[in-house]
């Protein structure tokens, strides 16, 4: 098992380390200049600092937008709009819980929200999956589900999606009390919770209903229906860790229009955009930088900060190249563990059924031929063969050690 399973076996949730030394900085003035540039750019971003932005409402600020675009996963991805959603948005959480801003030390955004009685406010993905995806309209259940998952170390995306899978297979709706009871059973591996704790794909396979598990590479999908975001459709498929919105985030340009708007119902140009976004996020994670800041800042500012800290003169393209090597290494690791192009696919549901159209928006099934062409383009741009497998030539180009695959 991985590190998480080892820690779980030891009943260990986290390790806290407190150092006694200080980190050396090559040029403090240069770091200060880079910091000022980053914060200045962030302060002018409507997505981050606007009246209805992330600073004021957390990531829950996305809830209304995704609902309005008719791409909110509903009823285990069998619909894309949830009619009670306008009463469950971030504004209503603020009204009910009177939450305050908090977050990481030194941050100006402070995206985390805590209620007046200490309640931890859910992030957007949690808000969406514990309402629309499982057809729940009780806000307190969402907050309690968030608390249970946080204390038990369970991912809210996977937990919510697994409950939705269970509901579809069992052909039943869950009451608020049943939602929280099942989450506790999953956490303690009790009763049906023991099976659900293995994740939706294994649970559904055991019931002969793999079609009800909405996963990529066996990982449950987050709160963006790919029928409403074709960039997200491709990003889910190509993500090295399965259905994930944090390897690439095409929502930024398809929905938030940052840095420029792209057509969310088209694959045109998306293969290259997704590849670059994956490289970007790989280096952002390695810099331990906040992804939200990249709604405003760029790698140019972080290259300046990196050079100021380390003394190593670095450009944005240098950092992006590091990100590409990181991502290609992950592709190598996946291939060595048996993954290939057949795993870079979406559930059939998205190709066979429509979303919830209306208000002048048509949410059609994804055209499979268009998807496969975009995936083929991605493989070529990424430097993979047409089976989605890394090549010796690309490894040589990137300076990565080749392992026979």
Pairing relationship of beta strands 112-114 and 215-216 according to DSSP bridges = unpaired
pLDDT for position 372: 98
SS3 category, 101: strand
63 alpha carbon, distance to own chain's centre: 14
pLDDT for position 1: 57
Q: Which domains does the chain have, with CATH numbers?
A: 21-49+226-405 (1.10.599.10), 51-223 (1.10.569.10)
Distance CA(202)–CA(73), nearest Å, equals 21
pTM: 0.94
pLDDT for position 8: 81
Cα-flanking dihedrals φ and ψ of residue 323, to 5°?
A: -60, -40
pLDDT for position 197: 96
pLDDT for position 405: 76
Q: How many Cα atoms sit within 13 Å of 116 on the Cβ side?
A: 6
Per-residue pLDDT of the chain (405 residues; tens, 9 = 90+): 578 778 888 888 889 999 999 889 999 999 999 999 999 999 999 999 999 999 999 999 999 999 999 999 999 999 999 999 999 999 999 999 999 999 998 899 999 999 999 999 999 999 999 999 999 999 999 999 999 999 998 999 999 999 999 999 999 999 999 999 999 999 999 999 999 999 999 999 999 999 999 999 999 999 999 999 999 999 999 999 999 999 999 999 999 998 899 999 999 999 999 999 999 999 999 999 999 999 999 999 999 999 999 999 999 999 999 999 999 999 999 999 999 999 999 999 999 999 999 999 999 999 999 999 999 999 999 999 999 999 999 999 999 999 887
Distance CA(128)–CA(74), nearest Å, equals 9
Cα-flanking dihedrals φ and ψ of residue 18, to 5°?
A: -125, 115
């Amino acid at each position: 098992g991985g590190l998480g399973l080892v820690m779980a076996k030891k009943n260990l949730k986290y390790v806290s380390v407190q150092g006694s030394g200080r980190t050396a900085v090559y040029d403090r003035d240069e770091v200060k200049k880079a910091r000022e540039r980053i914060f200045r750019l962030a302060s002018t971003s409507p997505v981050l600092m606007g009246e209805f932005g992330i600073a004021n409402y957390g990531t829950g600020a996305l809830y209304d937008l995704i609902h309005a675009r008719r791409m909110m996963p509903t009823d285990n991805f069998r619909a894309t709009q949830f009619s009670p959603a306008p009463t469950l948005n971030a504004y209503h959480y603020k009204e009910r819980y009177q939450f305050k801003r908090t977050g990481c030390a030194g941050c100006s955004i402070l995206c985390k929200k805590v209620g007046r009685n200490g309640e931890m406010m859910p992030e957007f993905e949690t808000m969406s999956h514990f309402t629309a995806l499982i057809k729940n309209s009780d806000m307190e259940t969402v907050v309690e589900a968030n608390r249970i998952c946080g204390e038990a170390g369970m991912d809210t995306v996977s937990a919510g999606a697994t409950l939705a899978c269970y509901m579809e297979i069992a052909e039943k709706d869950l009451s608020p009390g049943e939602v929280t009871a099942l989450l506790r059973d999953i956490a303690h591996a009790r009763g049906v919770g023991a099976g659900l704790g293995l994740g939706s794909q294994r649970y559904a396979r055991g019931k002969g209903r793999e079609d009800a598990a909405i996963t990529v590479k066996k990982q449950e999908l987050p709160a963006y229906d790919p029928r409403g975001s074709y960039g997200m459709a491709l990003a889910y498929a190509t993500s090295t860790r399965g259905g994930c919105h944090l390897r690439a985030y095409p929502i930024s340009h398809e929905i938030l229009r940052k840095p420029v708007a792209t057509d969310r119902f088209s694959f045109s140009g998306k293969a290259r955009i997704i590849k670059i976004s994956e490289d970007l996020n790989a280096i952002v994670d390695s810099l331990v930088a906040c992804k939200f800041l990249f709604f405003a800042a760029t790698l140019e500012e972080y290259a300046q900060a990196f050079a100021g800290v380390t003394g190593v003169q670095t450009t944005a393209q240098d950092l992006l190249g590091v990100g590409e090597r990181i991502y290609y290494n992950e592709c190598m690791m996946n291939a060595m563990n048996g993954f290939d192009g057949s795993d870079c696919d979406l559930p059939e549901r998205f190709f066979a059924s429509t979303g919830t159209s209306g208000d002048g928006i048509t949410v059609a099934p994804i055209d499979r031929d268009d998807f496969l062409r975009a995936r083929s383009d991605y493989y070529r741009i990424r430097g993979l063969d047409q089976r989605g497998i890394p090549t010796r030539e690309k490894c040589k180009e990137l300076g990565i050690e080749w392992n026979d695959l």
